Amino acid sequence: MPAGNHPNSNRSDPPHIVILIPCLNEAQSIAQVVQDFKHELPEARVLVFDNGSTDHSAEIAAAAGAEVFSEKRQGKGSVVQTMFQTIEADLYVMVDGDDTYPAGRVRALIEPVLQDQADMSIGSRFQQESNSQFRWVNLLGNIFFQGLINFIFQTHLTDILSGYRCLSRRIVKRLPLFERGFEIEAELTVKSLERGYRLIEVPVDLRPRQEGSHSKIRIVQDGIKILATIFALFRDYKPLTFFGSVGLAFILSGLIPGLVAVAGYLETGLVTHFPSAILSVGMILTGLLCITIGLVLHTLDRRFREMEYLIGIYFDHISAKENKRE
Ligand SMILES: Nc1nc2c(ncn2[C@@H]2O[C@H](COP(=O)(O)OP(=O)(O)O)[C@@H](O)[C@H]2O)c(=O)[nH]1
Ligand SMILES: [Mg+2]
């Protein structure tokens, strides 16, 4: 919720909007992106965060009228963290510097957040109304990760990894983000969902990159990192489901050698299959241990959520006081 629209806020001036553009070697397109967003949203500040580009992207962006910042830590996620921590505004729009997302959709993207219908709007490249052009590997990766997140977290999102989003100040300043690379979008989506923030998808059309311009994503390495991040989020945010499923799998598999040992016993009155009996007991105990770990972590998770909620109330209270003083 932008500070200007917060029920406890007494601010009535228009919201400060920033366009945040992470940029690594986008000399071919960055000027266009900056100019398009300045044209579409003249009231917004356009900020380019450069990560040591070697093709003069930073100078080109500055010449096109952007404020340019430089980030020493490599990776898109590092840049997003710095942007969120250091920039003060009411509404934050995040977009790639490769001129693949339509600047013309920016007002449609910010509207739900501005009207307080959502805390984050996501430019979805996959909604029915969208007419996006994808490289087939990117398309497959997106479909796979989207299916996985929707299955694990019981959501119905159509675009988990979109780089075109509008976020409220609340979400930007509250959400703890740690991922350094392209996993940041999955982290952003899941952590927002799990904290009960309202997400809305707005259809956008993705254009292919210009001839000669290259995506910075490395399909295999970054794909594995995104997958690992999704599993880590699954373990951290749904511990009972995660460890419970592993435990259940151990117990069910442990029943097979167990049945063999029991059948032998019923037949002869003696334990004839010692190895099977030991294996079964081991597997069932491991399964029970997993379920116990899940239960403990589930309780801890709930208590931490309560604590986070109380800390949130405290910070709301402080910022409401600051707003009044302004
Ligand atoms: N600052 C910074 N930007 C990056 C880095 N890696 C990628 N980007 C930018 O993040 C955006 C998304 O990257 P892109 O290669 O388009 O990924 P794709 O959209 O998934 O193909 C682009 O604007 C890149 O220039 C990085 O290490 N640092
Ligand atoms: Mg891109």
Residues 6+ positions from 42 with CB-CB distance below 8 Å: none
Question: Which of 132, 178, 188, 185 has its CA nearest to residue 163?
Answer: 185
For the chain, the 3-state helix, strand and coil shares in percent, each to the nearest 5, are 55, 10, 35
Round to whole Å and give the CA distance between 298 and 230.
18
pLDDT in tens, the chain (326 residues): 333 444 344 456 788 999 999 999 999 999 999 999 999 999 999 999 999 999 999 999 999 999 999 999 999 999 999 999 999 999 999 999 999 999 999 999 999 999 999 999 999 999 877 778 888 888 999 999 999 999 999 999 999 999 999 999 999 999 999 999 999 999 999 999 999 999 999 999 999 999 989 899 999 999 999 999 999 999 999 999 999 999 999 999 999 999 999 999 999 999 889 999 999 999 999 999 999 999 999 999 999 999 999 998 998 898 888 878 87
Ligand 1 touching residue 141 (CB < 6 A): no
Ligand 1 touching residue 290 (CB < 6 A): no
In the chain the first and final C-alpha atoms are separated, in Å, by 19
- What pLDDT is attached to residue 130? 75
Question: Strand, helix or coil at 215?
Answer: coil
- What pLDDT is attached to residue 11? 53
Question: Which of 298, 253, 307, 303 has its CA nearest to residue 280?
Answer: 253
Instruction: Give, using CA atoms, the residue closest to atom 12 of ligand 1.
Output: 96
Strand order in the sheet with 17-23: 67-70, 45-50, 17-23, 91-94, 165-168, 120-124, 199-203
Please tell me the pTM assigned to this model: 0.90
Domain residue spans in the chain? 3-237, 239-325
Round to whole Å and give the CA distance between 251 and 233.
24
Class of domain 3-237: alpha beta
Round to whole Å and give the CA distance between 121 and 93.
9
Residue 167 has φ and ψ, to the nearest 5°, of: -125, 145
Q: How far is the CA of 318 from the centre of ligand 1 (A)?
A: 35
